[in-house]
DNA sequence: ATTTTGTGTTAAACAGTGTTAACGCCGGAT
DNA sequence: ATCCGGCGTTAACACTGTTTAACACAAAAT
């Protein structure tokens, strides 16, 4: 049938989930922490990954980032503790990811696994890369932002950032995610750089009052459009 | 909610899909071939089109071309049987937004419909989060609370808290629930933080005496509105 | 009645962010 | 080689949101 990589540091829970999945015909490989999970992922190329978020050595989100380097498509389902702030999780809902709040029922997990398995891979919907943000027209490849007749040419980094904000519009886009993605590392100074870019984007976007970039302190930014 | 135009020549399948969509709250119009579909499109201006590719009279791709003449934006989801890659590419070239291989699961169709509805095209996007609290108008995504002409911009956390109070209005919202959800853990200091936020929300809401946030000692808060 | 616990409120402290401007690097033009 | 302009970074200072502390008070427990 399908192979599933399960990563869960609570062994008791991990065993139960593994057995339940195997009873339903899945082939399961099981790891107890992120590092082992990453190794097993590379060894086995599973069809779906189910990973706890809070784990020793390598947490679920970091693990996901490493997995995405190898494979941008494999579906990842996060298991989050009840005590996980809702915001942190939201950014990961898109892009082949799903999440489940503990405690969850096995049925819920099965449903999600099946839903993700059924999806045929090229899930990228055809984007002509011409996006609409409020009254603005944003051409990502040409890096142009236009309102009425007026057209601004954005720098590459400005365009990349705006695109990511757009892809997460009306949700929180995490600082650390952008920093790792665009800058390659999440450090204090790069963080300040990001702030400067946000200021510039706000300036570009200020002519439509319905478009706003809101800050979520300690987490990231939210583009309202 | 949203209206969907479904075009599928296999009537048995069409009925099933239509019912499933209606159960989930969509308004569905149903056509059995491309010509009828085009007519219904012009008559009803649906938010999303779901069309089979292989149909008598007017196939899905040709239908899409005709629809695009009227409306360059409306999302179109193609249902393809055993599709060759060539078919898929053709569908994208025409500006269709997505495709789905038969057989598909209803969940997968729903997910895609919702994804396409969320790419808000300025005219057809409905505001999801405009709430009324007493005489106040609360826009959750924009984090704005308005009374008469006056408008306050709330912080993210204030907005999240107010939203949760609203969702439980006239019932008790438990402290520990909010603390776990927004703060990630239920400790003494975070508890005091929550108290401070309640004070602030009370201040924001004090201009309508019919709106109140009551305390239930040891349990939580209750929003009266 | 007295103590203990939970909440209301305010303000100070702190860390995160907003903004502007100056700086330095790099590639293209002179 | 030198100058120049564009771009991203760094620095500096102002400002905002959240937490923490402090004190006052109310409700429950003793």
Q: What confidence tens digit (pLDDT) does each residue in A7-34 have?
A: 998 887 788 888 878 878 789 999 999 9
Compute the average pLDDT of residues A103-108: 67
Closest CA to A182 of A158, A212, A217: A158
Residue B86 neighbours by CB distance under 10 Å: 8
What are the C-alpha distances in Å from A5 to residues A32, A46, A78, A168, B135?
A: 11, 6, 12, 27, 52
Q: Exposed/middle/buried for B7, CB within 10 Å: 0-12, 13-18, 19+?
A: buried
SS3 B92: helix
- Nucleotide at minimal C1' distance from the B143 CA: D17
| Dihedral class, residue B19 (left if φ above 0, else alpha if ψ from -120 to 50, else beta) | alpha
Residue B13's contacts (CB-CB under 8 Å, 6 or more residues apart) are none
Output the distance from B220 CA to C4 C1' rounded to whole Å. 20
pLDDT in tens, B119-146: 443 333 334 567 889 999 999 989 999 9
Contact B88 A122 (CB under 8 A): yes
Those nucleotides of strand C lying less than 7 Å from any protein Cβ are 6-11, 16-21
**Residues belonging to chain A with any Cβ–Cβ distance to chain B shorter than 8 Å:** 82-88, 111, 114-115, 118-120, 122, 125-126, 128, 132, 134-135, 169-170, 212, 214-217, 222, 224-225
Q: Which of A85, A115, A132 has the CB atom closest to B184's CB atom? A: A85
Output the distance from B220 CA to C11 C1' rounded to whole Å. 25
Task: Check whether residue B223 has its CB closer than 7 Å to nucleic acid strand C.
Answer: no
Distance between the two ends of chain B, CA-based, in angstroms? Answer: 25
Using the predicted structure, report yes or no on whether residue B12 has a pLDDT greater than 80: yes
CA-to-CA distance for B193 and A93, rounded, in angstroms?
28
pLDDT in tens, B38-62: 999 988 889 899 988 878 888 787 8
**Does the pTM exceed 0.75?**
no
SS3 B198: helix
Residue A98 binned pLDDT confidence (cut-offs 50, 70, 90):
confident
Residue B73 binned pLDDT confidence (cut-offs 50, 70, 90):
low
B199 to chain A, closest Cα gap in Å: 20
Evaluate whether A171 touches A90 at the Cβ level (below 8 Å).
Answer: yes
pLDDT reported for residue A63? 87
For β-strands A220-224 and B3-7, DSSP reports them as unpaired
**Which residue does chain B place closest to A82, by CA atoms?**
B180
- Nucleotide at minimal C1' distance from the B200 CA: C9
**Which residue does chain B place closest to A84, by CA atoms?**
B184
Task: Check whether residue A222 has its CB closer than 7 Å to nucleic acid strand C.
Answer: no
Contact B160 A86 (CB under 8 A): yes
Output the distance from A183 CA to C16 C1' rounded to whole Å. 20
Compute the average pLDDT of residues B154-158: 95
State chain B's mean pLDDT as an integer.
Answer: 81
- Nucleotide at minimal C1' distance from the B187 CA: D19
Output the distance from A185 CA to C26 C1' rounded to whole Å. 22
Angle at A56 (CA atoms; ends A53, A58), nearest 5 degrees = 65
């Amino acid at each position: 049938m399908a192979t599933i990589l399960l990563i869960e540091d609570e062994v008791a829970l991990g065993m139960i989930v593994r057995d339940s999945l195997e009873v339903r015909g899945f082939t399961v490989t099981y790891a107890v922490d992120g590092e082992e999970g990453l190794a097993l992922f590379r060894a086995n190329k599973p069809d779906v990954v189910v990973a706890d978020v809070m784990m020793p050595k390598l947490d679920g989100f970091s693990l996901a980032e490493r997995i995405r380097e190898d494979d941008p498509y494999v579906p990842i389902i996060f298991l989050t503790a009840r005590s996980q702030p809702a915001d942190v999780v939201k950014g990961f809902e898109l892009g082949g990811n799903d999440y489940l709040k503990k405690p969850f029922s096995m049925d819920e997990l099965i449903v999600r696994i099946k839903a993700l398995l059924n999806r045929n891979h090229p899930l990228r919907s055809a984007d002509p890369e011409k996006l609409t943000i409020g009254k603005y027209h944003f051409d990502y490849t040409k890096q142009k932002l236009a309102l009425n007749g007026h057209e601004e040419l954005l720098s590459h980094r400005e365009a990349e950032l705006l695109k990511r904000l757009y892809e997460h519009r009306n949700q929180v886009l995490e600082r650390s995610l952008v920093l790792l993605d665009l800058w390659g590392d999440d450090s204090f100074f790069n963080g300040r750089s990001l702030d400067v870019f946000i200021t510039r984007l706000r300036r570009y976007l200020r002519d439509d009052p319905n478009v706003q970039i809101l800050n979520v302190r300690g987490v990231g930014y939210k583009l309202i459009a």
